[in-house]
């Protein structure tokens, strides 16, 4: 029996009703190019194998890999390694990404996938509920921040349902939630890097005004956005405007 390892943030899903709901949310088609991040003990992997021609999975824990290999599933392709270093170009596109993301690296994984947006059809994740709430938060809310802006600029973010701690072993101390990310047909900007720079600076000191946070890259004369506000008041479109105004200075 595999014991969950803290260093990889492992909590294994053991609730069959929840597993069925996740598979129904993904609604896999036979020829989908599915990529599962962190298959763990295969709770979602195994049911998905019944639907698709092939399933690629990325797993960092060698013990779990041996366990998955012992299943001898011809349509399961296992990649050992760190998802943050994984080259998505090696997979057939467009990719549907799924996974139960460990809480300690969920933001890093989301940003890594964002940089590969052109290859992604959609994403369905289980995350800590508060991370999903931050992703879906509206401006003006206390939890609206960098993650909200970056995700909503490129995706329609939908919290699908909540997963209680007792659905896992070991039970985490927090609730989880299933989120579906559907890329917007018209992304609001192409320039992820510049947007990320502006957004990161804007939220770097939440209590300060934008004039303070952005002074190294933008002055009030260079934009129509009122910089006496705090970052959390701005809409997604306001951030796009700020990014464009910043780019005009070069």
Residues at the annotated binding site? 11, 13, 38, 59, 82, 100
231: Cβ contacts below 8 Å, ≥ 6 apart: 145, 199, 202, 203, 206, 210, 213
HSE (CB half, 13 Å, CA atoms) of 217? 19
Q: Binding site for S-adenosyl-L-methionine, residues?
A: 11, 13, 38, 59, 82, 100
Handedness of CA 183, 107, 113, 203 (dihedral sign): positive
CB 178 within 8 A of CB 124: yes
Q: Which residues pair with 55 in a beta bridge?
A: 34, 76
């Amino acid at each position: 029996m595999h014991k969950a390892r803290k260093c990889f943030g492992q909590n294994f899903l053991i609730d069959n009703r929840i597993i069925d709901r996740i598979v129904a949310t993904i609604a896999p088609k036979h020829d989908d190019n599915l990529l599962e991040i962190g298959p763990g003990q295969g709770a979602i992997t195994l049911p998905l194998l019944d639907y698709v021609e092939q399933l690629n999975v990325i797993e960092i824990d060698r013990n779990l890999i041996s366990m998955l290999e012992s299943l001898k599933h011809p349509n399961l392709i296992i990649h050992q390694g760190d998802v943050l270093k994984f080259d998505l170009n090696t997979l057939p596109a467009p990719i549907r990404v799924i996974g139960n993301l460990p809480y300690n690296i969920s933001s890093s994984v989301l940003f890594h996938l964002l940089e590969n947006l052109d290859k992604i059809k959609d994403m369905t994740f289980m995350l800590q509920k508060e991370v999903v709430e931050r992703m879906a938060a509206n401006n003006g809310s206390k939890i609206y921040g960098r993650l909200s802006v970056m995700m909503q600029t490129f995706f329609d973010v939908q919290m699908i349902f909540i997963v209680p701690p007792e659905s896992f072993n070991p039970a985490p101390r927090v609730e989880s939630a299933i989120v579906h990310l559907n890329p917007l047909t018209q992304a609001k900007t192409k320039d992820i890097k510049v947007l990320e720079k502006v957004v990161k600076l804007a939220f770097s000191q939440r209590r300060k005004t934008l004039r303070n946070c952005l002074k190294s890259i933008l002055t009030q004369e260079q934009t129509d956005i009122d910089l006496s506000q705090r970052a959390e008041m701005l809409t997604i479109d306001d951030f796009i405007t700020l990014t464009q105004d910043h780019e005009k200075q070069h």
